[in-house]
Structure 1
Amino acid sequence: TLSLSLTVTLLQLNVPEQPVVALHASDVILNCSFSHANPFNLSDVSVFWQLTDTQRNVHRYSAGHDQLVDQAERFANRTRLFPNQLGLGNASLLLSRVVVADEGSYTCFVRVQDFGSAALLLQVAAPYSKPAVTLEPESNLRPGDEVALTCVAYGGYPEGDVIWQDASGHNLTENITTSVVANEEGLFTMTSVLTVVLEPNSTYSCRLINPLLGEEGYAFVTITGQNIAFPPVALWVTIGLAVCLLVLLIALAAVCRRKIKESCEEARREAEEAKELEEEESKTGQPNAHLVKSQPFKWSEKRCG
């Protein structure tokens, strides 16, 4: 009996275990390295990169040259290896001008007598613009009104986390509505709307966090007493009360003036009567009992005159 044994030796490849994060519109290196115990010629090295899921050709190198005839069109003029480092076991791929569509899993194949493959994950990130917060409506606000605060940031990727807080740091995220819209490049515009009941001198903040790049931006709005119009009903009530008070003061002043005038005229009459009695006494030489009132009457006459 003849038995045959077949041994297949696999080439050990090393790729990053964690996802590789690339900035949108920048270049990124997808690292792939190998080691081979026996000396080899570069002409014996073959390197092939492809998309893991669709198996589309990203870059192929063999026989000492790039073989790009069947390369996927969207990778044209955007990929290259490092041929002078292949002898050192470097089969890494340089991907230029990264776009959102490049995100995904890439498999590196290397053959040097033996064969090996390994896959890595590429994630794309783009920073969002600084958030901007607007108020709707902006005028004719009254305490107790519902106000919509809108926080907008654009040009980012992937979808960010939006956190709303008040001045005390309380999380208001339960009261928000967030929408995400992608542009032709796949970058997002995020719009988050927070609805609050208006209170004077209140501050609300919007924080947008990119999960791949960390905290990106922060914006806040403060609603002060200057932003809040006086309630129309209360305004008319206040004006009415002011007019009534003014009329009341004018009427009171007129009554007081009339009373003072009547008092002065009465005092003047009494003073004149006292004077006549004095003149009569001086003529007759007889004292008159009414003269005891003459001094107060004279004093009143001076006061009113």
Structure 2
Amino acid sequence: MGGCLRLGLLALLHLGSGYAGYFEQIKGKMGEKVGLPCCHELSSSESLQSYRIYWQKSTTEVVLAYVPEQGITTDERYENRTVLDTRNFTLWISPVEILDNGSYQCIVQVLSLARVLCEKHVAFFVTADFSTPNVTAEVVASSCESAEVMLTCSSHGGFPKPKVCGALDSKPVVWNASQVAKSSLSLYNVTAQLWLSLTQDASFTCSLEYNGFVTSTSLLLKKANDCVVLPKPPPYHVIAASSIVIVVFLLALALAARYLSRHGFLSCVFCTAVPAVRCTAMPLALTLWRSERGRWKVESSAEEGCQETPV
């Protein structure tokens, strides 16, 4: 496509007045087939040879042009990827590339009137889907009360530049660090990091927003509970009351033991039974004699003896 055609195209924008201007937004994804609409459609009685049609990008780059004397010509970057609808002048692009993103203009000129019939501006937003976010959690330090966790969310291969959002239990968080890099194919790779002090189980969600599209991933964070928690000591007043009860009980036990020992009721369970000794007088002899008054008397003599008797 020569420079003369480009200069001639720019000059057409200033020929005459009274043409209608339109603006429209079109969205498409990389690799798809997308049509960019123009501003005029031929009737059954009209002929294509009565018009000149120009498609240009950002007012400086010619995409496609139709001139009756030359036919349809296409810029080399769009060759084999663009088709002009000769009825409504729609520009079809397939497959769509990231570099196709931008502002386009369709200009229709009537040859017999030597003026611009209409012009339409089209904002073409190209989108490339990001990969599903990959969320990882690394425990840096932990204690019985909390765990220090570094969360990383990454995604790649998308367009345009996304907005990376994070939420902990549905509450937005602010990233500690984020990095967006652009590849040689104009696609974006994203990495974001968040430092988190985790005290209980929680749900974390990382999402990417771009051109009206959203992709997200959620991760359940579990607080490790592998610490041995020692029971709390009882309050001071409980210890004091318990001590008083124990002291009173010991004093009562001591008094009871003393009372029982004095009255002979205390016995030792673990002691050997001591046999009781019972002493009795044992008769040894009987003597029969007569007193002075002439009476007979029987007299016995005995000696004391002792024998063991079990109690």
CA distance in 1: counterparts of 2:101 and 2:201, whole angstroms: 45
- Equivalent of 1:93 in 91, 94, 97: 91
Matched-pair contact (CA < 8 Å) for 2:166–2:172: yes
Supply the RMSD in Å over aligned alpha carbons: 3.4
Aligned pair in 2 of structure 1 residues 208, 38: CA closer, same or farther (>3 Å)? closer
Residue in 2 that maps onto 1:189: 189
Name the SS for the 1:200 alignment partner. Answer: coil
- Residue 214 of structure 1 corresponds to 213
- Name the residue aligned to 2:26: 20
Higher fraction of strand = 2
- Mapping of residues 105-184 of structure 1, within 5 Å: 105-113=103-111, 114-115=115-116, 116-137=118-139, 141-142=142-143, 143-167=145-169, 169-172=170-173, 174-184=174-184
* AA at the equivalent of 2:216: G
Distance 1:74 1:204 in 2: 44
Matching residue of 1:303? none
Corresponding position: 1:43 with 2:46: no
Take 1:37 and 1:98, find their aligned partners in 2: how far apart are those partners?
A: 30
- Mapped contact 2:24–2:121 kept (Cα < 8 A): no
Q: Name the CA shift for 1:9/1:181 in 2 (closer, same or farther; >3 Å).
A: closer
Give 1:127 deviation, angstroms: 2.1
Give the 3-state SS of the residue equivalent to 1:67 in structure 2: strand
What are the superposed Cα offsets for residues 21-72 of structure 1, whole Å, 9 maximum, x if unpaired?
A: 111111111100226899643222211111124x12201112176432xx43
CA distance in 1, matches of 2:71, 2:223: 66
Task: Give 1:80's match in structure 2, choosing from 78, 83, 86.
Answer: 83
Residue ranges of structure 2 left out of the alignment (5+ in a row): 1-14, 232-267, 283-304
Gaps of 5+ in 1: 1-6, 239-265, 295-305
Task: Determine the C-alpha separation between the residues in 1 that align with 2:42 and 2:16.
Answer: 15
What is the identity, as a one-letter code, of the residue corresponding to 2:51? V
Larger Rg belongs to: 2
Shift of 1:192: 1.5
| 286 and 224 in structure 1: CA distance in 2 versus 1, 3 angstrom threshold | same
CA offsets, 1:247-303, max 9 Å, x none? xxxxxxxxxxxxxxxxxxx865x425x03x45x769944688xx7xx5xxxxxxxxx
- Supply the distance in 2 between the matched residues of 1:12 and 1:36 (Cα, whole angstroms): 16
- 1:121 Cα offset (Å): 1.2
User: Which structure carries more helix by proportion?
Assistant: 1
- Write the letter of the residue equivalent to 1:220: L
Give percent identity, aligned residues only: 21
CA shift, 1:216, in A, is: 2.2
- Structure 1's 193 and 18: CA in aligned 2 closer, same or farther, altered over 3 A? farther
So what's the TM-score if we normalise by structure 2? 0.63
